[in-house]
Amino acid sequence: MEKCIGCKCCEAACKDFYRMPPEIRWRKVRSFEVGEFPTALRVHLSLACNHCVDPACMKGCPVQAYTKRDKDGLVIHDPTACIGCQYCTWTCPYGVPQFDPEQGVVSKCNGCYQRIDEGLMPRCVESCLTGALTFGKVDEHAVRQRQVVTEAPGFPDPSITKASTRFAWPLKGPQPDHQVLVAPEKEGE
Amino acid sequence: MAEWLHDAQYSLVIFTLFTQASVGAFWVLLVSDFLKRKAPDAIQDAFTRIGTAILIPLTAIGLTFSTTHLGRPQYAWRALRHIDSSWLSREIWGFSLFFGLVALYTYLWWKRIGDAELRRHVGVMTGLVGILAVLSQIMVYQIPGRPTWNHPSSFLLFGASGLILGPLAVAAVYSFAWGRLIDLKSGEETVRLSHRRLGLTLLSGAAIYGVGLLWRLNFLAAGAAAALDPKVAGKAAVGSATVKTAIAIGQQVMEQHAALLWLQVGLGVGVPALLAALLWYLHRRGAGLKLCNALIAAGLGMVALGELAGRALYYMTGRPWF
């Protein structure tokens, strides 16, 4: 949240790479206001699928169109199995799965799993101008960042599905009053 | 398709109301069957038998509309796949099974009327499956992803819809059959008795529906008030407080569509209660059955309108909140 400038380059890169129809955006950048004057702050959240530990989309899907990979926890949606009931668009609190009326199925961010398998980064991470997006293991994130939290302004309660996304709050301005994980200092720092 | 129809999930409105009405109607007929177990009554049996004629159409219409909102309805059968964790899958299993059992129960009434014991066994099984199907249907909406639905009042509202619509539909069929398919004089006492029972059922249904609706309105108003508190209004909520944002959105939708709420209150709760009172009063005064039957037919139409409005509003309040 410190680094994101809300340029939506990540959105565009994702849409371009997957050739999505205009109304579908797997990654969305939203802007929120937090705090009180004179310390009020405008923050931008670039979000796609949170690849939850307990994915509500997968649990509720009647046709088993969702799978969660054991090796990295990515939640993958199979459009060929989907019947377009749109129940996952209700069960996901974060509004991640989106219905495409043209195709008659839902689609969502699959974490660029094919690129991950090739040792590449997801397109959004690769395209980010400011380095605001990173991808990796959740526990490693906690070590790399000074303040890594599961909650962010406007972001639906992550405890519902144990979202895997982590946020680094801006160093200036109002700070989160709980769930702050301060990483232990690394050797030599 | 008009946008408001899409927002109101018209296909799910029809699916849920018709299937709930079907389960409600089935239970009325099953109870009628059991009440005459010790002292068989050919007239009552004739009415019950005619009453079963609405079960298959009600369930079939409901199930048909369950597929019309699908992006790929040709693969609807795949929804049976995930019964181990998906309430939606369990719901479809439940109503598919209910439909099959209802067809069997109806067949037994029309083609093997002498086999009452078998019919009642099938009936009990069908009734239980119907209740489980409705419970699964309610559980579909007990999801944290849609906080405005994720409330116990959904149990009361969905259950009461079946309790009101089903018996009213059966009563309307009885009214139609009396004088046309069953002799006026010999059927009169049975129809009068059915009206007394209908009155009690409608009163119970209206009371449950009213409590459920008040509970839901209070839940939405309280959540919205917390979200719109001047101390936090205009700022992004964090963590569990974001749920209140969702409720505030639902409350705003409710206020925007207040006309639907009034229809729900007036026609969905008021009319069944008023109809119950009128039936009681008219029978006490010894009024003619034709007037009562006309009131039941009009009541069914008005209640159906109120239920449609209420259910559409229910879906409309379940807006995305992020």
**For B261-304, how does the pLDDT look when each residue is reduced to its tens digit (9 = 90+)?**
999 999 999 999 999 999 999 999 988 899 999 999 999 999 99
pTM score, two decimals?
Answer: 0.92
Tell me the Cα Rg of chain B.
Answer: 21
Q: Is 80 exceeded by the pLDDT of residue B170?
A: yes
Among B75, B143, B242, select the one facing A156 at the smallest CB separation: B242
Say how far residue A40 (Cα) sits from the centre of its chain: 24
Among A154, A158, A179, select the one facing B237 at the smallest CB separation: A154
| DSSP per position, B144-194 | TTSTTT-STHHHHHHHHHHHHHHHHHHHHHHHHHBTTTB-HHHHHHHHHHH
Tell me the Cα Rg of chain A.
Answer: 17
pLDDT at residue number A183? 42
- C-alpha B150/C-alpha B318 separation (Å) is 10
Beta strand A105-107 pairing with A181-182: unpaired
Question: Is A74 within a domain?
Answer: yes
pLDDT at residue number A179? 43
**Closest alpha carbon to B317 in B210, B224, B209:** B224
pLDDT at residue number A42? 84
Residue A38 preceded by cis peptide, ω within 30: yes
Give the three-class secondary structure for A67. strand
Question: Is A2 within a domain?
Answer: no
**CATH number of the structural domain spanning residue A64:** 3.30.70.20
Beta strand A167-168 pairing with A181-182: unpaired
| % of chain A at pLDDT higher than 90 | 67
Comparing B101 with B179, the larger pLDDT belongs to B101
Using the Cβ of A37 and the Cβ atoms of chain B, whether some distance falls under 8 Å is answered with no
| Stretch B183-195: mean pLDDT | 91
Question: Is A42 within a domain?
Answer: yes
Q: Where are chain B's structural domains?
A: 1-140, 163-322
- C-alpha B156/C-alpha B138 separation (Å) is 10
- C-alpha B51/C-alpha A66 separation (Å) is 43
Using the Cβ of A54 and the Cβ atoms of chain B, whether some distance falls under 8 Å is answered with no
* Closest-CA distance of chain A to residue B50, Å: 36
**Choice among A87-96, B91-100, B177-186, B196-205 with the minimum mean pLDDT:** B177-186
Residue B53 confidence class, pLDDT cut points 50, 70, 90? very high
Q: Is 60 exceeded by the pLDDT of residue A164?
A: yes
Neighbouring-strand partners of residue A149: A167
pLDDT at residue number A37? 75
**Choice among A38-52, B144-158, B196-210 with the minimum mean pLDDT:** A38-52
- Average pLDDT in chain A: 87
| Stretch B11-33: mean pLDDT | 97
| Stretch B121-149: mean pLDDT | 97
Domain region containing A30: 9-182
Q: Are the beta carbons of B320 and A33 separated by less than 8 Å?
A: no
Q: Is 70 exceeded by the pLDDT of residue B233?
A: no
Q: Are the beta carbons of B71 and A157 separated by less than 8 Å?
A: no
Element (DSSP H or E) covering residue A98: strand A98-100
Q: Is 50 exceeded by the pLDDT of residue A189?
A: no
- Average pLDDT in chain B: 93
Give the three-class secondary structure for B74. helix
Question: Is A187 within a domain?
Answer: no
Q: Which two tokens stand for residue B249?
A: 């959105």
| Stretch B191-216: mean pLDDT | 96
Given a contact cutoff of 8 angstroms between Cβ atoms, the answer to whether B170 and B51 are in contact is: yes
Q: Is 60 exceeded by the pLDDT of residue B181?
A: yes
What was the ipTM of the complex prediction?
0.91
- Interface size, chain A vs chain B, as Cβ–Cβ contacts under 8 Å: 124
Using the Cβ of B234 and the Cβ atoms of chain A, whether some distance falls under 8 Å is answered with yes
Question: Is A3 within a domain?
Answer: no
Helix axes B42-51, B153-177, angle to 10 degrees: 120
The total number of structural domains that make up chain A: 1
